């Protein structure tokens, strides 16, 4: 009788059937953090900006998450409380070691590859990370019987791009497609959030913020939590197998628009210093020889790259996933409020009206906004 009663409590929501492998995954316990939904996911690149949001979302839904890390355990220790006891499992690995990669994906039905970087080091070139590394993870995951593979790329990843990192990411997409049929490619625009390199860089360098091309670079910034949400929905929906997604803001901004928005919110001027791109690239190349990373000429190349969707009708977007992305003007303040001077620290955080944020220009003296 007890087993019959327990059987009756199970519903369709507790069962996941993987289309590619036919695996049937049955959840245990109530839905949420203190349960297991029957799924195990490996998240490579979990210690990065996007990684912590993806791991937190998966663990909160009751997924057992394997978090491979390179270097010190302290790099991923903060991820363990995002899930219940034993549900977030750190494993040491090296991208060049196939055996360690195989150990990380052996019991997983979903593998998410978020590994990527904007500069090269003496041990890891763009080719080794974006092409060889991505291909190796995809091949081993496919051989291990993994059902779903989600690969993170860039909105500007094209084989004819000017930045080397974007070119290698485009070739990496091709290698993933060849190594894992049915893999999902996710191309994201620049992301913003609490640990970003967009809004926070402007705030902390407000007394000398370097720009190129008079800050006219075109951007389509998206909230990092929206991208993590999209990855979660792709993983859950078996009808998304093999699709490519481009995640970007429906509204286009210039870098100057975003700088104006930041200085409006923090009640301080951001002092922009426009530097010729050739001069900044030369200086970055000289600094790049130092043993520790400060900047790189590859990052200067990215500063010149405008963000545009591919326009391919077969590519999916936020709308196809049923996600309404956050509006930058309404979400930005919570990430940069701590850059305000003391006299404005207690000012209200929420703007009173969305219409006050129409651009251009940013309404600095609009009485309808409290910021």
Q: What is the pLDDT of residue 351?
A: 54
Q: What is the pLDDT of residue 283?
A: 93
| pLDDT band, residue 369 (cuts 50/70/90) | very low
When mean pLDDT is compared across 80-94, 112-126, 176-190, 349-363, the lowest value belongs to 349-363
Q: What is the pLDDT of residue 55?
A: 96
Q: In which band, very low, low, confident or very high, does the pLDDT at 20 lie, cut at 50, 70 and 90? A: low
Q: Which region among 9-18, 46-55, 69-78 has the lowest average model confidence (pLDDT)?
A: 9-18
Beta carbons within 8 Å of 127's beta carbon, 6+ residues apart: 168
* The pLDDT value given to residue 344: 80
Residue 6 is predicted with a pLDDT of 46
Q: State the pLDDT at residue 136.
A: 97
Q: What percent of the chain has pLDDT over 70?
A: 86
Q: What is the mean pLDDT of residues 182-207?
A: 95
Query: Which pLDDT does position 263 carry in this prediction?
Result: 92
pLDDT of residue 367: 39
For residue 357, the model assigns a pLDDT of 45
- The answer to which of 30-39, 144-153, 221-230, 303-312 has the lowest mean pLDDT is 30-39
Q: Which residue has the higher pLDDT, 294 or 48?
A: 48
> What's the mean pLDDT in 160-171?
95
**Tens digits of residue pLDDT in 51-66:** 999 999 999 989 999 9
Q: State the pLDDT at residue 354.
A: 42
pLDDT band at 36 (very low <50, low <70, confident <90, very high): confident
pTM of the predicted structure, to 2 decimals: 0.87
User: Where residue 164 falls among pLDDT bands split at 50, 70, 90?
Assistant: very high
Q: Is residue 8 predicted with pLDDT exceeding 50?
A: no
User: Across the chain, what does the average pLDDT equal?
Assistant: 87
Specify the pLDDT at position 1.
Answer: 43
pLDDT range class, residue 11, cuts 50, 70, 90: low
Contact 209, 197 (CB under 8 A): no
């Amino acid at each position: 009788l007890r087993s019959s009663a327990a059987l009756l409590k199970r519903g369709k929501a507790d069962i996941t059937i993987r289309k590619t492998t036919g695996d049937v995954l049955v959840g245990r316990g109530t839905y949420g953090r203190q349960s297991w939904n029957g799924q195990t996911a490996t998240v490579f690149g979990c210690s990065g900006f996007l990684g912590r949001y993806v791991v937190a979302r998966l663990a909160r839904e009751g997924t057992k998450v394997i978090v491979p890390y390179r270097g010190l355990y302290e790099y991923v220790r903060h991820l363990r409380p995002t899930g219940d006891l034993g549900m977030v499992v750190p494993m040491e690995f090296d991208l060049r070691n196939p055996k360690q990669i195989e150990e990380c994906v052996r019991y997983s039905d979903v593998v998410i590859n978020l590994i990527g970087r904007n500069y090269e080091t003496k041990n890891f070139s763009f080719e080794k990370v974006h092409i060889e590394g991505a291909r190796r993870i995809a091949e081993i995951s496919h051989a291990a019987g993994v059902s779903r593979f989600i690969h993170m790329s860039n909105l500007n990843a094209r084989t004819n791009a000017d930045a080397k990192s974007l070119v290698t990411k485009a070739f990496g997409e091709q290698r993933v497609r060849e190594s894992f049929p049915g893999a999902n490619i996710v191309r994201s625009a620049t992301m913003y959030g609490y640990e970003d390199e967009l809004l926070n860089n402007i705030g902390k360098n407000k007394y000398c913020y370097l720009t190129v091309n008079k800050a006219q670079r075109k951007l389509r910034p998206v909230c990092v939590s929206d991208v993590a949400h999209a990855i979660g929905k792709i993983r859950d929906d078996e009808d998304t197998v093999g699709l490519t997604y481009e995640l970007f803001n429906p509204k286009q901004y210039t870098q100057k628009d975003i700088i104006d928005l930041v200085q409006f919110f923090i009640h301080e001027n951001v002092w922009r210093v426009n530097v010729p791109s050739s001069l900044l690239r030369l200086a970055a190349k000289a600094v790049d020889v130092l043993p520790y990373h400060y900047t790189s000429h590859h990052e200067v190349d990215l500063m010149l790259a405008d963000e545009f969707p591919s326009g391919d009708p077969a590519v999916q977007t936020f709308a196809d996933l049923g996600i309404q992305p956050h509006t930058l003007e309404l979400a930005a303040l919570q990430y940069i409020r701590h850059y305000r001077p003391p006299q404005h620290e207690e000012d209200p955080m929420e703007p009173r009206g969305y219409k006050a944020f129409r651009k251009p220009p940013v309404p600095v003296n609009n009485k309808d906004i409290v910021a």
